A and B are shown apart, each in its own frame.
Chain A
Amino acid sequence: AQSVTQLGSHVSVSEGALVLLRCNYSSSVPPYLFWYVQYPNQGLQLLLKYTTGATLVKGINGFEAEFKKSETSFHLTKPSAHMSDAAEYFCAVSVGGGNKLTFGTGTQLKVEL
């Protein structure tokens, strides 16, 4: 079975600073990896995904993530945080093409002036 660990349930950064949200996964087969963002009282919006091919994946709103198989990681980064980035971020994994997602516990990102 696959699993996802998100280190840090809360991350706080200053506006303009680097955003780094950590995600490690466990899977016995090559995984598909996803990052979703959730704003209060809303559903999840897909930020980016890795399936195969290039390991550095660029997503919406300036976010990107790099799949590192040797480290079983898929950390999310953004060079410069904006106030509008404040939200809950979820890393997720699916395997075997079955579409079923396993989510991490989420990281609340706070952006301060």
Chain B
Amino acid sequence: GAVVSQHPSRVICKSGTSVKIECRSLDFQATTMFWYRQFPKQSLMLMATSNEGSKATYEQGVEKDKFLINHASLTLSTLTVTSAHPEDSSFYICSASGGAGTQYFGPGTRLTVL
């Protein structure tokens, strides 16, 4: 149980375009979803926390207008990187929690902006 999927697993886009990443909890209802960014050989950096039906809470230094997060249902959250630039290239990982204090992570999305 507790499976989280992400789509796409890998995306390459041109600078200036927007990219949407989906995160789904497949076998449980996720009251809270989290979005992380991970640079090569580094730890995970929390970008934002989203609760179903509410606005996301962004961590300090994360641009909310650039990283749009929507948590429309208890099984789906989306992260849209708007007007992507090469410096946005990274590994983006989502996680989902059913409220019991444990986060279950998706497989990640490798974003490359040319």
| Interface set of A (CB-CB < 8 Å, partner B) | 32, 34, 36, 41-46, 49, 51, 90, 94, 97, 99-101, 103-106, 108
Contact = CB atoms under 8 A, between A and B. Distances in A.
Interface residues of B, number: 24
Interface of B: 4, 6, 32, 34, 41-44, 46, 49, 91, 93, 95, 97, 99, 101-108, 110
B21 to A, nearest CB: 12
A97 B101 contact: yes
A38 to B, nearest CB: 9
Give the most central of A42, A43, A101: most B CB within 10 Å: A43
| Majority SS at the chain B contact face | strand
Contacts of B102: 34, 46, 49
A101 B108 contact: no
B101 A41 contact: no
Contacts of A108: 41
Contacts of B44: 44, 90, 103
Given A43-B6, A43-B108, A90 B43 contact: yes
9 smallest CB-CB distances across A and B, nearest first, come from A43-B105, A44-B105, A43-B107, A43-B108, A99-B97, A103-B43, A105-B43, A43-B106, A32-B101
A94 B41 CA distance: 23
A34 B104 CA distance: 11
Contacts of A36: 105
A101 B97 CA distance: 11
Contact of A100 (B49, B99, B104): B49
A99 B46 contact: no
Contact of A46 (B46, B99, B104, B106): B104
A82 B107 CA distance: 23
A104 B110 CA distance: 22
